[in-house]
Structure 1
Amino acid sequence: MLWIKAFHILFVTSWFAGLFYLPRIFVNLAMETEIATTERLLLMARKLYRFMTILMLPAIVLGGILWLGYGIGKGPGNGWMHAKLLCVVLLIGYHHACGSILKKFEQARNQRSHVWFRWFNEVPVILLLAVLILVVVKPF
């Protein structure tokens, strides 16, 4: 079980690196006016999004194994796990929202400002904080 937990943490951490960095690329794309720089940023964003998706899948699978296979977070007094799972669902939604935003940038249809993307970039930070508190403190 410890090997599974270690790899779960590794893949979650790696996935979060992408969740933190891709919206920063969106900030730059929203501010950029030069075509060559925009194309370079789009290439970076496409590659990062594909890699993030690959990292997300084992993170979710290994978390599922820990939860369903080993019973971590099951039974009475484990309400924290339900809250954590809600955060994971929100993170998956955020991940897919990033994919949708990337498509809009690729089609030159983005209408949001760099300021909006700066705020959007804070969502995974807040969700990570919530998950960490839920897993470590287990408040309910």
Structure 2
Amino acid sequence: MGTFLAEYYLWTKSLHVISVLAWMAGLFYLPRLFVYHAEVVKTGTDTDALFQTMERRLLRAIMNPAAISTWIFGLALVFTPGIVDWSMLWPWTKAGSVVAMTAFHMWLAARRKEFAAGTNTRPGRTYRMMNELPTLLMLVIVFSAVAKWNFWEF
């Protein structure tokens, strides 16, 4: 298995980056949809139904498959011989941030269900603030993985 992963390392890495880009696009866009849904749209209107459709399709057709493929290709990279040195700090900061990103994804999915049920109680400001979280996590992930930067040694 290790030989196979090493042989296809660049393909795996490319597919991982493509998956991450698609996932991040959704993680940036869905909270922005929630801002407008919470601030402008009245429950039960045609516009409410339109926003629910956009949010559902974004989550199910783009974000969920992208998150799953990000994890699959990321784990393939982890198991590729010579790629990750777990004695260093950077893979742990990256892994923790990816888990946090996944938890944020699940938080967004739960909020989408609230909008669908007409039970959202959070104001647009909450979604505006939460929209910054993927950016912060992305910075930690990129600096950890690319620069092998250990944040606690800065």
Fold equivalence (TM over 0.5): yes
Asked if structure 2 preserves the Cα contact closer than 8 Å seen for 1:67 and 1:74, the reply is: no
C-alpha RMSD over aligned residues: 1.2
Letter in 2 for 1:28: Y
1:74 paired with 2:82, answer: no
**Residue equivalent to 2:36:** 28
Using the alignment, how far apart are the partners of 1:90 and 1:23 within structure 2? Answer: 16
Structure 1 or 2, whichever has the larger Rg, is 2
The one-character-per-residue Cα deviations of 1:49-96 (angstroms, maximum 9, x if unpaired) are 0021011111111100111233422243x2100110000000110011
**Residue equivalent to 1:102:** 112
Asked if structure 1 preserves the Cα contact closer than 8 Å seen for 2:86 and 2:92, the reply is: no
**Aligned pairs (5 A) from 1:1-140:** 1-34=9-42, 35-51=45-61, 52-76=63-87, 78-140=88-150
| TM-score, structure 2 normalization | 0.86
After superposing on structure 2, the runs of 4+ consecutive aligned residues of structure 1 that deviate more than 2 Å are none
**Residue equivalent to 2:6:** none
Identity rate, percent: 32
| TM-score, structure 1 normalization | 0.94
Using the alignment, how far apart are the partners of 2:103 and 2:143 within structure 1? Answer: 21
The one-character-per-residue Cα deviations of 1:18-73 (angstroms, maximum 9, x if unpaired) are 00000011001101234111110110000000021011111111100111233422
Gaps of 5+ in 2: 1-8
Using the alignment, how far apart are the partners of 2:79 and 2:124 within structure 1? Answer: 41
